[in-house]
Amino acid sequence: MENFKLNNWRIIKDDISELADNCSEKFLTEDLFQIQQNDYTIDAGWYGCKNGFITYLIYKYDWENPLIRIESNSISNCLNAINLIKKYVLQITK
């Protein structure tokens, strides 16, 4: 993905990049994308019960209380949510 820069984020899982080029339902899972930086985790996946993507910002592995939760109805909106959350983390960790 050319406009998707991870900079200082450590990639845990990135199946979303391939999906962005060829969005096929058979590849849609809850575990599409996860990156970490210090105590922050950004996680994104497909949730069939919501019929959409959900992107989370998790702090210190507290999965029960995400700092941010964004629902998206398309892969491009999900990628935008990831980028917005990355910018937010950059602002709060300066």
The domain segmentation of the chain, as residue ranges, is 10-92
pTM of the full predicted structure?
0.86
69's CB contacts (< 8 A; 6+ apart) are: 54, 55, 56, 57
Considering only CA atoms, which of 79, 78, 7 is closest in space to residue 40? 7
| pLDDT in 10s for each residue of the chain, 94 residues | 444 567 789 999 988 877 765 656 667 878 899 999 999 999 999 988 778 999 999 999 999 999 999 999 988 899 999 999 999 999 999 8
Q: For residues 37 and 48, give the distance between their C-alpha atoms in angstroms, rounded to a whole number.
A: 28
Task: Kindly report the number of other CB atoms within 10 A of residue 78's CB atom.
Answer: 25
CB 54 within 8 A of CB 44: yes
